Each structure stands twice: as structure tokens, then as C-alpha cells.
Structure 1
Amino acid sequence: MKTHVKALVVGGGAVGTSIAYHLGKAGWDTMLLERDELTSGSTWHAAGLLPYFNMSFATTHIHDYSIKFYKQLEAETGLNAGFSVCGNLRMARTQDRMDEYALYSSTAETVGVPHEWLTPTQIKDRWPLLRTDDLKGAIYHNTDGYINPADVTMAMAKGARQHGVTIERKWQVDGYEWTGSEWRVTVTKMVEKGGNLVPSDEQTVITAEHVVTATGNHAQRTAQLLGIKIPAIPVEHQFIVMEQDPALVEWRKTNPEHPVIRDADAQSYVREERGGWILGVYEKSAPARFEYGVPDSFRADLFQLDLERIEQQYMEMIHRIPSCEECGLKDDFNGPICYTPDGNPLVGPAPGLRNMWLAEGFSFGITAAGGTGYYLAQMMVEGEAEIDMASLDPKRYGSWMTTEFAARKNEECYDHVYILHHPDEERPAARPLRTSPAYDRQAARGAQFGWVNGWERPNYYAPEGFSDHDARSFRRGGWWQYAVEEAKAIREGVGLVDATAFTKHIVKGAGAAAFLEWFTTNKLPRVGRINLTYALTDAGTTRTEYTIVRLAEDEFYLVSAGAWTAYDADYLRKSIEDMEPQFGRIECQDVTTQWGVFAIAGPKSRDVLNAVIKDADPSTALSNKRFPWLSAKQIELGMCPVNAIRVAYTGELGWELHHPIEMQNYLFDLLEKAGEPHGMKLVGARAQNWLRQEKSYRAFGNELGRDATPLEADLPRFVDLEKDFRGKDAMQALGIRSKCVTLLIDGPDDADPWGREALYDGETKVGRLTSGGYSVAFGKSIGMGYVKRELAEVGTKLKVRMQRQLWDATVVEDSPYDPKNATIRMDG
């Protein structure tokens, strides 16, 4: 057995073998360890479906790669992966479901996933065993289907060996130790004893420069060994195999195999199996299992079947395929499948650790395995993947996450697989959890909350008795009118936004200034001033956006996106650790939960603050002379000390009011009372999102990410090319591959884009939207996105796909609302 490798992959399911294959193919000396036999985890009892359908841009890329990769494995390895390319038919009973498919179609179109639309009559003509009289239609993928999980895993394992990968079975990892340059991994030989797999006395240590964990159901044990949190916990999943259906057997004598049949409104999928059917369900009340680890006695085992739990889905299957009613039950499966709180896997660097990579939490592991191996290997070998993998980063859940939270959210995610996935969806489980002090006051005033990194954040405010759940839509939901009123309030009067969820760090010390000069793209501000800047990846793309406030010559206050606290903290701290020997002492503190933030904005915002500011001359304290745009000052509002920043994400006159979190309710009441004479409205995140698009303000996770540079985001004013900074050479080497633009859209009367739509120049796809919404300033839809460089000129006429139709869109100047920033600089 080898005792030193460049990369050690832990876990021999489909995901682990794919990662080992792709690392081996990239030329890395790689070993894979499996504690039992290959495929002995969830892989062995998976149904093997390969659905393209996914609302995530990154995950759709991953699924697309997998499906194409599996089709060429036999040519490379000589092993048949058992891929039945029978297609995938996803049916809809309601117009809402068809609208959902239309939104998915937008994402699929941007990735290049082939699909077609079918009417109920067309479905019946192709597959007469299906009942279609209650359907609205379907979306059909003819290039996917299902695969034998064991066969595809063994094919990838053989391919890995052909690329020089060593695969060792019956070895369990019992300890990880980072030496500062490599990992020392303690492994124990596992032996059979009384039908169980138990540790022997044989142990050894393997050293590896990099380690990847793909431990599936054993993720909680992995988390304990590494001293981190991994919100990947299995949930029970049931499917049944039925005896032969004579009608199906007869039909198949002259016809090809049925596609995988997905009746989303019945929470189930059906596929053929040796003349019969397999029924799989995503029912409510399926419990999480192994919250604190998998018992040693559990190997390739199953749980007891609970047929009562899936009775409704069984009856729905008979409704959809009447000929199956007389088929008997042949076999049944109830096994663990890992989930995460949002259903997307955890792929990328582990929090706080060096050269430790996670590939955990795969609810659709067979579908995602091939692509995960490909893109994770790119991250490890080349430093970054060709697509932005941030949405799958393990650090999207911070240290506040607990086992109980993960278990309850994962159960919710399981029973939400087939619900209508509205783009304005908010899921209720484990909420509220993280609340700012003003939460109860906001709720009493009609706040409808969204969920951001565990925080409750107002999305919009509505009258008493209003239901956010009933207001959701794939078009303009019932909340839309309230967001319009809030956006107008900021444009015409004054509004107050709770931005407490912002990520906040203090960076200080003798080496702080030199470090930040190297770490970010823009010039550092003078004391008392602020700037907007970016931290890059080593590949030259955008890693994080920061607002930096310089508090002193050697002290800085960094503000970044609220959804990415652990993500930003990890990169910042690791970078400081790397560079402190060169720059000198640097201290970094995460102060996110110490400071609340209210953003007040609008032409009357100065009037509201003037009424409560304590100053020798209150009438001039907030004037341009004493408090200019893009500056920061410590002020007093009533009895509350405030670090005020003159900046507004909405593009109006305004301030961010950073205040001690324990004084938030006092400040809320003070501002609310002072705002009454001026008609101040409470404003949520949805209106703010529309307003920032009118100013062409890029958002991290939308326009800004690890697949584009700040120059491609068309932000050269925030990049100082006269200084050296991390990723500069790589950024310049990439050039301008595409460019970010703002578009005004003449769309339908009842819908706006969501930021997932494809852009066309005539019949040619030329880009995609990354943000979308409604503009109160222009009275029409607005969006931001990326197009080919030559199409980024102001006035270019394009088309955007919304609800299966193409609508006119025009590229407009950056900051189409108030391009000269006259309102934001307003004096008084």
C-alpha cells in the first residue's frame, strides 16, 4: 500500500471514483480509499436516474457534463456503464407547473441543454399507456435517462486505474493531522466479523498534499474527525419495484423504452424495469437518519419500508398508468440519501483547513458525480473551475449551523423536491433562527421575511393577513405591488432598509494597509473615507466585493455580502496567514453580529436624520461640506452612537447607519418616529434589488463571481492597474471574454425576468441575464447580464427569453437612472 500521494480521495461511491478519475487524468498521483466495497454506500441502492432538471446554473453544468461523460466511458474503459438513454418526460398538471418548467428552460438554455415541449396529445400519441387528459403539457429531455449506479462506478474506477490511480478497499480513515505542508491520515484495516465490518489492529499513516472527502452518509463522522461542521445528513428515500405489466410487455414488442416519467404534482417518478415499473417518491414526513454518524453495523443495508407513507403516490401512479393497477410488488427499497439544507451539494475547500476538499451532501449523486469530479479537479489542479462554483461552496453555511438545523432543513428539502419551486420561494423549516433585535417590530409592521445565511431579512412589507406563500408566482406575485410602492418611496421620498445581515470584518495592525493593498484591486481610501473594491482569485476572477472604510492608518472596516460571511472570512483569514510574514502583524475580527445596519435612502433621508442627530450645528452636520459622499463619520443619533457611511445601494441620497446591535430597537423607534412627518416607508430587499439594477450596481453571486473578472464586469474604475495586487496578471491575461451590461426590457405585462434568462441576437444565443426585475423609474422590466463584447455597446438591440417567448431588450448606459449621480450627491 502506498504511503504518500499527491491527492487522497476518501470514499468509493460514484462521486469519489469520479473525483479520483479526473485527478488521475489530470496527472496527479492519486489514491482512493473505501472503508467497505466500492458502491457500498447510497450508490448501491440508488435508482440511477440522470435528471437534467435543476434551477442552479452551476449544478446544471455539472449534470450536463455527467450525462455526456457517462456516454463515452465504455469506449475508454471497455465497461458498459449501463446507460439507458430513454429520455426524461416531466409532466405538468397546472399552468403554474408549466411556468416553473419555462423558468427552468431559461437556465437550461443558457447551458445548452437540449429539451422540447410536448402537448398532452403529443404525449398520448407517443406513449399511449399514459393518461394525459388532466395534463397541461410536459418538458422532455431526449438525451438523458437512467444508468446502473454500480456499473458506472466500476467503469469510472477502471478508468481511474488506467490513469494511474490506486484504489484500496477495506480501509477506514480514523484521523487527520495537518503538518503545515501535508496531511497525515491515519487509516485502519477493516475486517469482516459476524457479518459486520470492524476495525482490525492494523493501522498505517498515509501522507497526502491534498485530501478530498466524498464520504456520503458518513459525512458527520468526517466532520467530527476534521473538527468542522458539514450540514450533510441522510434522509430516508423509498422506491418500489413492481411485477411485469402485461400491457407494457405487449407495447414494448414494437416500441422503444418509455422515458423516465416524472409526475411532479404527484411527487413521484416512474421508469421501466424488466417489463414492470419502478416507482420512486419524495413524500412528506421522511425522517433524517444518522444525524450523529452511521452505526458500525450499518453497511449496504436498508430501513424498514413504510408503505403507508407513500400510499398517495402509489395511487397517483395508478391514475397516471392505469395498466399497472394489477401489478404486484416485486421488491422495495428504503435507504439513506444524503441531503443539504438547500439540496445542492457541498463542493470545494473545507472551512478553515488547508488543502482539504469536500464533496459531500449529494441527493442526486449519480447525476452529479461525473461533473463534480471534473470541476473539482479543475479547482484543485488549476486553481479555479471554468464555471463559478461559489453556490456550491461548503462555507455557504457558517459556524452557527447545528446538527438539529441541518436535519430539519434536509427533511424539508427532501419533501420539497417536487413542490413548485417559485423563484421567490421561502422555505419555513427551522425559522426564525437568526434574528436582529428589530425582528418583532418589523413583523408587527407586516414584514414578510426572507432567509439569508440564517438571518431573517425583510423581503417586503404587506398588510395584516397577507400570506407570503399565496403571493408567490413565476410571474408578478401578489407581493409585487408592495415592492413597487417601496421602490417609489426611496426614489421620491425616503425609505428604511434593514441591512444587518451584511458581513463585517475589522482588519488592523502594522501590516494591515500593505496587506489590503495587495489583497484588493482598488486604491485604499484615506482615513474617514471609503471605497468599493474587489478581492480576486489567483485565476484573476472576482472572489469577493468589499466596501472598505478606513478608520485609522492601520485599521479598516470591511463590509461584504451577508450571504457569504463564512466564505469571505475563510478567504480573508487564510490570505492574512499567508502574507503576514511579508507585511507584518495583521489582526482580523469578524464583527458581523456586533453591529446592526439600517440603510436610510431617498431625497428626504437627510431631513429625517437632521431631526435626531446630536451635533453643535445639526443643520449642517450632514451637508456635503461636513459629510461628503463616500465618506464615513461617527455621529450620534439620539442616544445611539453610529458609524455612518454616506453610500446607498439604491443610488439615492442616503447613509448606512452601523450601530451597536444592542441599541437597534432604540434606533429603530427613533428613526421611525422621525420619519413619520416625511412619509418614510419600511423597505425590503426586493425593492432594493430593483433599485440597484437601475444604477447598474453589480451584486456578488449574480454579476460578480469566480467566472468573470472585474474588468469583464465593466468595473475598471475600481481596479488600479498601477499597483500590484493578487490575481492581477491572471486577470489581464484573461482579457475581456464577455462584458456585463444593463438592459431595459419590453416584456410581458404580468412578468419580469428573474436573472436566469438567455439573451439572443436574432436567432443566436449571445449571453444570459444574471439579475432581473422591475424598474419604477422606467416603468418596464430591467435586467443585468453578460453578452459578447461586441454586443455591449449602448443601443444594441437584443432579445430575452421569458415564459418561452422572446422579448425586445436594449442595452443601455451604465446607471441608466441618474448616470451622473446627481441625486446621490444632493446637498442640503
Structure 2
Amino acid sequence: MTDANVLIIGGGVMGVSLMYHLAKAGWSDVVLTEKNDLTHGSTWHAAGLCTHFAHNPTIQELRATSVRLYRDILPAETGDNCGFHRSGAMRITSNPDRMDEFAHVAGLSRFTGYDLQMLTPGDVERLHPLAQIEGLLGGIFEPDDGHVDPTLATNAMAKVARQNGATVMRYNPVHGVRREDGTWVVQTEKAIIRARHIVNAAGTWGWEVGHMMGLNIPSVPVLHQYLVTDTIGAVADRITQGLPELPMIRDPEESWYVRQERDGLILGPYEKHAKAWSVDGCPPDFGADLMPPELDRVEDIIMMAMARIPALETGGIKSVVNGPITFTPDANPLIGPAHGLPNAWLLTGSSMGVMEGGGSGWFLAHWMTHGAPPMDALAIDSRRFGNWADRDYRVEKAIECFGLQFGVHYPHEERPAARGKRLSPIHDLMVERGAVMGAAYGWERPNWFSHKPGDVAIPSFRRSNWFEPVARECNTVTTAVGLADMSVFSKFDVTGTDARAFVDSIGTNRAPRTGRIGLTHALSTAGGVESEFTVTTLAEDYFYLTSAAAAEERDEDLLRARAGGFDVTITRVTDDIGVLAVMGPNSRALLESLTSDDLGTWLSVSDISVADIPVRALRVSYIGELGWELHVAPDQMRALFLALERAGKTHGLGYFGAYAMNAMRLEKGYRAWGADFTTERTPAETGAGPLIKMDHDFIGKAELARRMKADDRWEMVLLEVDAAEVDPYYAHGVYQGDACVGIVTSAAHGHRTGKTLALAYLRNRLAREGLSIDLMGERLQARILDKPPFDPGNERMKQ
């Protein structure tokens, strides 16, 4: 029997990075078990590319941290070179939309502090003399990018971890995992290991280890090929002349990358139709193994790469690597707590293992050590997929992600694979009425409504074909009455004798009195916003909580983790309740035509009958109009919708979706969880100060109090932006002169006010005049609004 404080399952770059960072953070009894040898699986055969290019600040920091670790920190600690080559990297394109994407990423990188530079075709030719520039519009250059030897980097981290007391058990596969007496018991080949914490860092075997833990791990191994050439004369000549290494080059439109490898080149193609491998479990004897080459699958991509870099044709093929890498449904890694399991963590599913491995270990080690992630975790949180992410879903999405490895990342992008996993009871009725659907945590929800049958959103960085339809929806809600399906909310019942005390304790605000509705923010130990709950008090021992769709597993974990010591029962009721929103100045008249019950006052809840159907009516609005949310049993939702629709004809009833809702909530200055509220910032910084009641205890209170007084605290402001045909959306830098003083978190055109609006954090709170937003390289003037531009007195909601 072996005891461990932490048992890490998997000895690839991700697991070893976690071991390294935990050991350096002072954790004792850190044990890593590996089925074969370190780096076996996918790490050893990786091409070792490292980049700073990312569309999300957290993903970018994972990658930048990896670069610093491999390039600077590990060589200084070990005295050994990790084989890091600071070659720089470029991405080139002939696609105007891609240039918009590059400009957006370059703008984000100026806020995060990384130097990404836009390129002209002439710049491309100067930086990479072997590349043909015919047909190119330009590109983006990442001067600090490079490539690393994956085996050297992983073993360097293992060396430092061992020096700090960690233990590595090689050739020690896991055969079983169980929970016993509050401890994890793991049966391995060589020993039974009892551990306080376990971490699934098994990569290629992540699904299988997750199955042992009782988890659904939505990752799939996909085969990726790259070829290594023999000596190429043009490359060898550069070496002879003492010229610097060629920068890595990627053409995302043609779906390939090329980097220098000694006096040859490596060419890595990503075919559009990937080949999933060992979906339901890897072969028992698989280790440092490869598959036979299948170059016919990527022949067309190879030919395109040779046309762009003719020197590729002059080198014969020395070797072909064809091995598995894991993909999640969105190609981001799974990092964080394992849903529903105490002291269990995930660090797996990375399609960019070496590129993100060093930073991923740092990220999870911080989370485990401090009880909160170092940055917003939403893009990588291990609980962003639920049990609805079944086998078909994970396979279809992994194949889609592989094929779109170099796809344009449009704002408001909706990818088509594996849709329809969670449907509202009125899904078909919404589609019949022109709903163009989007996906939210597996749910299909209306994004907007079209008058054209079969219409779909045209992806763009500029105003798309849904701009005018959304304007019509906003007008309907403002002048008459709009109907929306909001069933995607996460929903929880909290009952029991301690229900009020418990709900008080979970967040910064106290629970409202019986029959009323309130809002509370649950904090991390660092004082940032973990979750936002709408709290409806049905009785002193019965509270109804709703939150964002994407927060369902996170919020359930939070509620259950904080219920210790309270006599409460927590029940997830998301699928047991549908929600119809009735909003607009005619909403009262519409409902009064279908019920004689009292419809209540602003922020009240009533159990009423509408068209003889029992509903829980919450008088609350996220869009600034008079309105109600009608919470109803799923088997009654269809009848309720049809009754409202029939009665609504005389009141000008129409439909509205998520895009209109987003535009209207910004006109009220309302913040959104996951975009504006994140774990990085306190609710005080985000503008929710009035909802903070310091007269009761809650997790994160001390840190919140400290940060509220800190000189370096940020401040969220509502900006009016001078936009014309291009509206901001998110992650744009806010400037005062040449200084980047903030970042946009959400934005849209407000159709009721005719203003383009953005919520943004100012990290320099004193920078309040002369502001502008960098929108894909163009500076748009912006002004801070002291009050929301639509109905600042809330008169419309309280009618």
C-alpha cells in the first residue's frame, strides 16, 4: 500500500507539468503513475510547436507560460537545454475574413502584452524567403514562437519535480479506481495507492481512466500525420551561410504548417475529414507506437504546401509520423475539478499537448493550491460538457474540430456537427416560426428569427445577415410584446430547514423575503465571481435558483460543496421546467387576457394559472421591458406557448432570440456571467456593488474586502462606441492614446437607442477621457456613459 497526497495518472507533458508545479509549490507526497514510460502516448511524437496565437486570453497564457518554461525556466533550473528554438512563426492567408481574424488576435495580444504583428505580402517574403507570395493578402507574425523537443522538456520537468520530492512510477498502468473511506484507492500494476487527490492526466487513455472514475470524458484520439524531409538544398545553404532558422509558417486556408528541422523541413497537414482512432479504448499494449503512413489522405494538402514552398519538392521523405492526438468537442483541454467527485481533477484532452502542457500544469496546480484558478477558466473548465455529450457527440465534434483546426474563428460562430442534443418542448414550433438556432451547453436555443425558410447565419467579423432581423425583434419587444424560449437556464431547488441560511451563505447578497426575487454572486476564495444565481424565495424552506446554461455542472458542484453543515436538499431541475419569457409593453394585457390571477409587482413571484395551465410567474426582465418569465412543466409548455400565441395576435406578438436579448441587456448596462462576470474580477469591480452585503459570511469575503480597497482594482464601464458598419463584440483593447488601458468583454449594437455599446474593464481606472477601441486595427472613439442609455430609471419594467 502506497499513500499519496496527489496521484497523477499519466506521464505525458500535461501530467508531468502538473507534478513539476505542485512539487515546486510545496506539495508533499506527489506521485505520478505512468502506464509505459514518460512521454509515451502522444507527447513523444509531437512536432513540438509552441505559439502565442490564441483567441482567448486564458488559452494564450497557457501557451505563453509553456514557452517561458521551456525556453528560460527549465534550462536555468536544470542546466540542460530543452531543445527550444526561437524561430518565430507566421500565419499567411488569401482570405479577407482571415485578415480580420488576424487583426483581432493582434489587438487582443496588445492587451495581454504579447507582440503579434500584422504582415504584408512583402513582409512574408522577407521573413520566409522560401515562400511564394502570389495570391496572399498578408498574415500575422509571432516573433517569440518556436518549437521544443517534447521529450527533453518533459524529462526536464520530471527531473526538477523529483528533486523537490515527487515520485514517478513508470510501467505501472492503472487497473481500477474507487472511493473508500473518503480517500481515492487506485489499483495499479505495482501497488495499491491511496490518495487524497487524483488527477486524470491520461491523454490518449483519458476516456478509459475517466470511465474507471465514473466520468464521461468527452475526448477522442484522432490520427495526425506529419512528414519529415531529407536534406533540402535551400535550407542547407542557409545553415552554411549562418542565416537564422526559418520561421514556422502556417497556411490555415490550405490547412498545413511547415517548420525547419535541421537541414530539412517538417510538413504537417490537417485533413478536413479526420480519422478517429480507438474511440472506446486504446489497445492494451499501445505505447510509443505509430500507425502506418496514409499520405493518400493528405495528398492534396501536400501539393498545396509544395506550391507555396517549392523547396519542399526538392527533399525526399525521410519519415512519416502518424499517431494519435486527443481532441475535445471544442479542441480546448479539459482542466479543473471533475464534476460530482471530491478531490478529483482533470488535466486531459489537449490537442495541443506540448504547446499548452507547461501552462496547463501551472494552471491546475494554482487551482488546486489556492482553491481558485489563476485566470478565467470558462474556455477550459472540465465541466463545460455534460452527460449529453455522448459517444456520437464526442466523435462528431472531434472530427469537426480536427478538420477546422485552422478554421476561421468568427464571433457568434455556430458549428454544425452533433447538434440537437437537448431540445426544448417547443423546439419544433420555434423552428417553424423561423428560429435560427444556436447551441448552448448542448441545448438548441433560438439566436434570431428569419422570414426566409432555411435561413442560416452568414459568419462574418462585420454586420451579418441577422442584423436587420434582430432589429425587428427588438422593435417588437419595445412597441408590442415578444415571446422567447428561455428553457436553457440551469435550475436548482434548495429545500430544508436550513435553506435560507444556506442560500444566504453562498453569495454576496442575502436571499429575498418569501415571494420575492433577488440576485447573488457566489465568489471564489480569491474574491472573483464563480457563479451568478437568480434566487426566488418560494417559502422559508424552499428556494428556486436559476443560472446560466453553461454553468450547470459548475453550479451544481458549487452548491453541493458549500452545503456541508446545512440541513438542505439540492435538486437539479433543469430538465423538469421549461421557461417562456413574455416581454414588452403589451405583455400585461396579453397575460390578463388569459388569467384572472394577480400578476404581482416588480421582482415578485406568483403561482398562477395562464390559459388554465399552472405556471410559476417571475416578474423579472433582463432586457429592460415590462415582462414575466413563465416557468412551466415541460409537458404543458407546448399548450402554454400556443395559447399565448393565439391571444397575442391582437397585441402585436412576435418572437425574439438570444442576439436581441444580448443587444437589449447592453442598452441597460446589464452584465452577463461568463463574459463580464468572471473569476478574475470581483463583483465590485464589475459594477455589482449594490448587491454586496458584508453583514453575513460567505466564501471569498475577506479577499473581496481587501480587493475593494486595493489601488490596482479594475473598473467595468459602459461605453458608447462610434461604430459604422462594423460593431465590436469582445476582447478588443481599450486605448487612451497609445496606452492599452482596458479590454472589451461584451458588445453589440443597441437597436432601441441606435447606439453601439460595449462593456469593458479599465485596468487603469483613472483613464476616463480620450478613449478608443481597437477593432481589427481600426480605432473607434468611445465614451463612458454614466447611466444606461435605455430607460435609466427602470420605469418601463415597473409599469
Q: TM-score, normalising length from structure 1?
A: 0.93
Which residue of 355, 360, 377 corresponds with 2:348? 360
Whether 1:329 aligns to 2:317 is yes
The equivalent of 1:201 in structure 2 is none
SS at match of 1:729: helix
Shift of 1:163: 2.2
Instruction: Give the match for residue 489 of structure 1.
Output: 476
**Cα distance, 1:789 vs. partner?**
5.8
Secondary structure of 1:398's partner? coil
Structure-to-structure mapping, 1:652-801, within 5 angstroms: 652-735=625-708, 737-747=713-723, 749-788=724-763, 790-791=765-766, 796-801=769-774
Distance 1:234 1:108 in 2: 31
Separation in structure 1 between the aligned mates of residue 585 and residue 428 of structure 2, nearest angstrom: 28
1:316 paired with 2:304, answer yes
Greater CA drift, 382-391 or 81-90 = 382-391
CA contact (8 A) 2:95 2:137 kept: yes
The code of the aligned residue for 2:189 comes to T
Q: What SS class does the counterpart of residue 341 from structure 2 fall into? A: coil
CA shift, 1:666, in A, is 1.2
Residue 778 of structure 1, CA deviation: 3.1
Q: Pick from 427, 436, 439: which aligns with 2:427?
A: 439
Give the Cα–Cα distance (whole angstroms) in 1 for the partners of residues 582 and 300 of structure 2: 51
Q: What is the SS of the residue equivalent to 1:579? A: coil
State the shift of 1:803 in Å. 1.4
Q: Deviations over 1:187-236 (max 9, x none)?
A: 213xxxxxxxxxxxxxx222222222210000111111101111121111
What is aligned with 2:588?
A: 606
Q: Count matched residues.
A: 793
Offset, 1:611: 2.1
Other-structure match for 1:579? 565
Question: For residue 783 of structure 1, what is the amino acid of its counterpart?
Answer: A
Aligned to 2:498: 511
- Equivalent in the alignment of 2:410: 422
CA contact (8 A) 1:233 1:291 kept: yes
Give the 3-state SS of the residue equivalent to 2:98 in structure 1: helix
Contact 1:118 1:139 (C-alpha < 8 Å) held by counterparts: yes
What's the offset of the Cα at 1:816? 3.0
C-alpha distance in 1, partners of 2:765/2:123? 41
Distance 2:179 2:764 in 1: 45
Superposition map of 1:294-693 within 5 A? 294-465=282-453, 467-469=455-457, 471-576=458-563, 578-580=564-566, 585-615=567-597, 621-622=598-599, 627-693=600-666
Match in the other structure for 2:140: 139
Q: Is the alpha carbon distance of 1:4 and 1:683 closer, same or farther for their aligned partners in structure 2, counting shifts above 3 Å? A: same
Gaps of 5+ in 2: none
SS for the counterpart of 1:669 is helix
Q: Distance in 2 between matches of 1:261 and 1:790?
A: 40
Name the CA distance, whole Å, in 2 between partners of 1:378 and 1:535.
20
Give the 3-state SS of the residue equivalent to 2:173 in structure 1.
strand
What whole-Å deviation, never above 9, does each CA across 1:733-788 have from its counterpart, x for those lacking one?
222511111111112x2211111111112211111111111112332321112113
Partners of 1:106 and 1:410 in 2: CA distance: 29
Cα–Cα, structure 1 residues 110 and 697, in superposed 2: closer, same or farther, change >3 Å?
A: same
Aligned mates of 1:691, 1:414 — CA distance in 2: 36
Q: AA paired with 2:476?
A: A
Question: Per-residue CA shift, 1:97-147, capped at 9, x if unaligned?
Answer: 101112222332232121111100121133222111210001000101111
**Aligned 8 A contact 1:770 1:785 in 2:** yes
Question: What is the distance in 2 between the residues matched to 1:51 and 1:265?
Answer: 18
Deviation per CA, 1:388-444, whole angstroms, max 9, x where unpaired?
113311111112221221111111111111122111211111112211121111111
- Aligned position for 1:238: 225
Matches within 5 A, 1:49-448: 49-72=49-72, 73-189=74-190, 204-254=191-241, 255-448=243-436
Q: Any conservation in 1 of the 2:89–2:145 contact (CA below 8 Å)?
A: yes
Partner AA of 1:116 in structure 2: Q
- Does the 8 Å contact 2:594/2:611 carry over to 1? yes
Report Cα offsets for 1:78-106 as digits up to 9, x if no partner.
12111111011100111111011122223
| Residue number in structure 1 paired with 2:35 | 35
Read off the aligned partner of 1:780 and give its amino acid letter: K
Instruction: Confirm or deny: 8 A CA contact 2:478 2:584 kept in the other structure.
Output: yes
Over residues 315-360 of structure 1, what are the superposed CA-to-partner deviations in whole Å (9 max), with x where a residue is unaligned? 1111101232243222111111001001111100111111111101
TM-score (norm 2): 0.97
Give the Cα separation in 2 of the matches to 1:594 and 1:693. Answer: 30
Q: Which amino acid aligns with 2:565?
A: M
Aligned-partner Cα distance in 2 for 1:640–1:745: 45
Judge conservation of contact 1:238–1:333 (CA < 8 Å) in 2. yes
Matched residues in 1 for 2:783 and 2:64: separation? 31
Asked whether the 8 Å contact 1:232–1:406 carries over to 2, the reply is yes
> What percent identity do the matched residue pairs reach?
39
Q: How far, CA to CA, are the matches of 1:789 and 1:40 in structure 2?
A: 46
Q: Distance in 2 between matches of 1:311 and 1:217?
A: 26
**Mapped partners of 2:13, 2:749: distance in 1:** 43
Check the 8 A contact 2:527/2:704 in 1, yes or no: yes
1:348 partner SS: strand
Whole-angstrom CA distance in 1 between matches of 2:536 and 2:642: 27
State the superposition RMSD in angstroms.
1.6
